[in-house]
C-alpha cells in the first residue's frame, strides 16, 4: 500500500517556522492501529488523515501517542493540501470530526478555521502545575487543558519546565499565557502525556485563549503569537459559541508511505 504524505508548516509563511503537521489523504479508512503507527513513525505533534465524502471530508488527528479530539494546525495543513494539490478551486472546506463540523475558508494565502469555543472555568492551582512550570501563575482556568495566566510575556518565556510534574495533571495539556508586548496576547503549550513536550503552535488551545482575552481586553478581534522556538502568528475572532483563527501555511515535503 502506498499512502500519500505531505508535511506542511502551518500558521506561518516560512519553511521551518510555525507548526509542522503530516497530512495523509486516504481513499478509505485504514485500521486505527496502523494510523497510530504512522503517526508515531512521523514523530510530529500531529498527523492528520482524511477521507473524501459527498459533502466534504472526514478528518482525524493523531499525536505520536494517541488520537485527539481537536487540532488546529493539522486542520489548516489538511485544508492547504486539499486546496493546493487536490482541488485548486475549492475556497470553503467542510470537515466532519470528533468535535463536530469544522469549516475552513480560504482567501488569498490566508486560511480561516471556525472552531468551537472552549471557555475555561477558574479553578484552584494544582501543585503539579506550579512545580511543572517552575512559577506560580496569578490565576488558572480549566477546559480540556489547564490555562495558567501570568503577568508578563517574560514570565512565560522564563518558565522552568518539569515535564514529569506536568504529566501528573488530569488535563490534556497546559497553556501558559500573558498579555503580549507587540500583539494582544502570547502563549506556550505543553502536552507531555501526548508525546509533545512543547507544541510549536496550537490552534485548539486558542479555543480557550480567545474567549479569555476577549473578556480581558474587551475586543473581539485579536492577534496572537505562540512563543515556541519555531513561533507562529494567529489572527483571532471571538463569535461567542465559535472562535475563528486565521493563518498561512507552506509546504515542506511531498511523498509516499510504503506499507
- Among candidate residues 46, 153, 165, 248, the one labeled active-site is 46
199 is written with which cell numbers? Answer: 507544541
The verdict on whether 229 is a catalytic residue reads no
H-only helix segments in the chain: 32-42, 72-81, 127-133, 153-157, 163-166, 206-217
108 is written with which cell numbers? Answer: 488569498
Which 3 state secondary structure label does DSSP give 153?
helix
DSSP-assigned letter for residue 189: E
DSSP-assigned letter for residue 27: S
* 34 contacts 101 by C-beta, under 8 angstroms: no
Which 3 state secondary structure label does DSSP give 172?
coil
Q: Which residues of 132-151 are buried (b: 16+ CB within 10 A; e: fewer)?
A: bbebebeebbbbbbbbbbbe
Strand 92-97, strand 139-142: pairing: unpaired
Cα distance between residue 123 and residue 101, in whole Å: 30
Which 3 state secondary structure label does DSSP give 64?
coil
Cα–Cα distances in Å, from 154 out to 53, 57, 149? 46, 41, 12
* 108 contacts 98 by C-beta, under 8 angstroms: no
The catalytic site residues sit at 46
Amino acid at each position: 500500500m502506498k499512502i500519500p504524505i505531505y508535511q506542511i508548516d502551518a500558521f506561518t509563511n516560512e519553511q521551518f517556522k510555525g507548526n509542522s503537521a503530516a497530512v495523509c489523504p486516504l481513499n478509505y479508512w485504514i485500521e486505527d492501529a496502523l494510523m497510530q503507527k504512522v503517526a508515531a513513525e512521523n514523530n510530529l505533534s500531529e498527523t492528520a488523515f482524511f477521507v473524501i465524502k459527498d459533502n466534504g471530508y472526514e478528518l482525524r488527528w493523531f499525536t505520536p501517542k494517541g488520537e485527539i479530539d481537536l487540532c488546529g494546525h493539522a486542520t489548516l495543513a489538511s485544508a492547504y493540501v486539499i486546496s493546493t494539490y487536490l482541488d485548486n478551486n475549492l475556497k470553503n472546506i467542510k470537515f466532519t470530526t470528533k468535535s463536530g463540523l469544522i469549516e475552513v475558508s480560504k482567501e488569498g494565502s490566508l486560511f480561516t478555521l471556525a472552531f468551537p469555543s472552549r471557555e475555561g472555568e477558574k479553578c484552584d492551582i494544582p501543585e503539579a502545575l506550579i512545580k511543572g512550570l517552575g512559577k506560580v501563575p496569578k490565576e488558572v482556568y480549566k477546559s480540556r487543558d489547564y490555562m495558567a495566566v501570568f503577568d508578563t510575556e517574560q514570565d512565560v518565556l522564563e518558565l522552568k519546565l518539569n515535564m514529569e510534574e506536568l504529566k501528573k495533571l488530569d488535563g490534556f495539556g497546559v497553556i501558559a499565557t500573558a498579555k503580549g508586548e507587540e500583539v494582544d496576547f502570547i502563549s506556550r503549550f505543553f502536552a507531555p502525556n501526548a508525546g509533545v513536550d512543547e507544541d510549536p503552535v496550537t490552534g485548539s488551545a486558542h479555543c480557550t485563549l480567545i474567549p479569555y482575552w476577549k473578556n480581558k481586553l474587551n475586543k473581539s478581534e485579536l492577534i496572537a503569537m505562540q512563543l515556541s522556538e519555531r513561533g507562529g502568528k494567529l489572527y483571532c475572532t471571538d463569535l461567542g459559541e465559535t472562535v475563528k483563527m486565521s493563518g498561512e501555511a507552506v509546504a515542506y515535503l511531498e511523498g509516499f508511505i510504503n506499507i
